[in-house]
Amino acid sequence: MDLSVRDVPVPTDDTPTELITALAELDRQAMVDFFGHDDLTEDADAQTRHFRAQQDTEKWWLAVHDTDQRLVGAAALGLPRHDNTRVAEMEATVAPGVAVAPVLTVLWQHLEPRLAAAGRTSVQWWQMHRDGVDAAEQDRLVPATGSGSLQRDEWTSALDSLGFVLEQVERHSVLELARHRDSWAALTAAAQPYATDYEVLSWPGATPPELQESMARLRNRMSTDVPSGALDIEEETWDAARVARSDQLGIAKGRTPLFSVARHRGSGELVAYTLIESPDRKPATAWQEDTLVRADHRGHRLGTLVKTANLDQLVRLRPQVERVHTWNADENQWMLAINVALGFAPASAEGAWQRCG
């Protein structure tokens, strides 16, 4: 297959270009082919705003065309600007029915020298896969952490052939709200006696200015306090301004952010938080993003309390939402146990692949 790779120009305004519109449709088709739905995709308007936001992360987008100029694949890369400056994160999409290996190979041949020139010596490739739990042993690929597995397929073969190592598997789970919302009150009541030194606060939209500095310290810890296997990760650098930028980007992309946090009564410091984003253009869907309990405040069931508080806020403010998607490192059994108690059920897996040097 004769393929060509081109850079996607960063748009100069919020109007989607023809190419970005085509990329959004490619992503939608790939997700529908994989899941049977497009819950996890964003439209061209949201993708344009995301791509234009280059202040904290330099973004490279690539499009792959065949000889008939048909769009058959794409890649999105993020190069952190303030921290982790030797790291590049990436993901790729291949059109349904198109062989995966040639697309990934041409993408990597195009990217490898550019990343080396940019000093990005650790490339972390995040890719969606089938969960390998029910696969025969010879068809399962276990990550370096020893926890979780992927089902071997053309994606795993292609990434392995390019020299990437499967470092970690994240479990993708889905919560059907109508089936489980009545169980949260009991979980909250059972957790409260362990957390008398804390108060839970919730809000929709951007983080209040008076909480931004404390939230920034939590966001710093999010990069190091959660299991990450042997991924080359250093603590991220957040401040109040970056918190505000992150919140405003989500809002500009048409997402409604919902936060719940735990504040330590003695110090006034935020020590746990969780974030759900509900895309306005997908009213039945929400995405459970970060959840963190600071390591020195664990053991007080704060994870349960902030999660149930935020789900209550979601049901109250976004009653049209039917299901919530979330992702957790498979070795993070503590957070997974909370999610299972809430009603989350496994749906797929995401592989964290890494190539260093």
Domain parsing of the chain, residue ranges: 4-171, 175-346
Q: Could you tell me the two tokens for 31?
A: 């997700």
What is the distance between the alpha carbons of residues 329 and 185, in angstroms, rounded to a whole number? 26
Q: Taking 90 as the threshold, does the pLDDT of residue 228 lie above it?
A: no
Average pLDDT score over residue span 232-249 = 94
Phi first, then psi, for residue 202 (nearest 5°) are -135, 150
Contact between 294 and 225 under an 8 Å Cβ cutoff? The reply is: yes
What is the distance between the alpha carbons of residues 37 and 323, in angstroms, rounded to a whole number? 12
Q: Could you tell me the two tokens for 300?
A: 């007080």
The model's pLDDT over 271-282, given as tens digits with 9 standing for 90+, comes to: 999 999 999 999
Residue 352's nearest CA partner among 225, 167, 222, 171 is 167
Architecture of domain 175-346: 3-Layer(aba) Sandwich (3.40)
The model's pLDDT over 181-209, given as tens digits with 9 standing for 90+, comes to: 999 999 999 999 999 999 999 999 999 99
Residue 3 three-state SS: coil
Residue 259's nearest CA partner among 197, 297, 312, 221 is 312
What is the distance between the alpha carbons of residues 311 and 249, in angstroms, rounded to a whole number? 22
What is the distance between the alpha carbons of residues 110 and 55, in angstroms, rounded to a whole number? 24
Q: What is the pLDDT of residue 223?
A: 79
Torsion of CA 145, 340, 124, 43, to 10 degrees: 170
Q: What is the pLDDT of residue 162?
A: 98
- Topology match between the domains 4-171 and 175-346: yes
Torsion of CA 244, 246, 249, 253, to 10 degrees: -130
Alpha helices in 270-301 (DSSP H): none
Q: What is the pLDDT of residue 283?
A: 94
Q: Taking 80 as the threshold, does the pLDDT of residue 227 lie above it?
A: no
Here the contacts of 181-184 (C-beta below 8 Å, separation 24 or greater) are 181/311, 181/315, 183/341, 183/342, 183/343, 184/308, 184/311, 184/312, 184/342
Torsion of CA 255, 9, 351, 114, to 10 degrees: -150
pLDDT band at 135 (very low <50, low <70, confident <90, very high): confident
Looking at this protein, which amino acid is placed at residue 19? Answer: L
Which superfamily does CATH assign the domain made up of 4-171 to?
Gcn5-related N-acetyltransferase (GNAT) (3.40.630.30)
Contact between 238 and 220 under an 8 Å Cβ cutoff? The reply is: yes
pLDDT, the chain, mean = 95
Looking at this protein, which amino acid is placed at residue 42? Answer: E
Q: Taking 90 as the threshold, does the pLDDT of residue 264 lie above it?
A: yes
Q: Could you tell me the two tokens for 274?
A: 């969780």
pTM across the whole model: 0.95
Q: Taking 80 as the threshold, does the pLDDT of residue 1 lie above it?
A: no
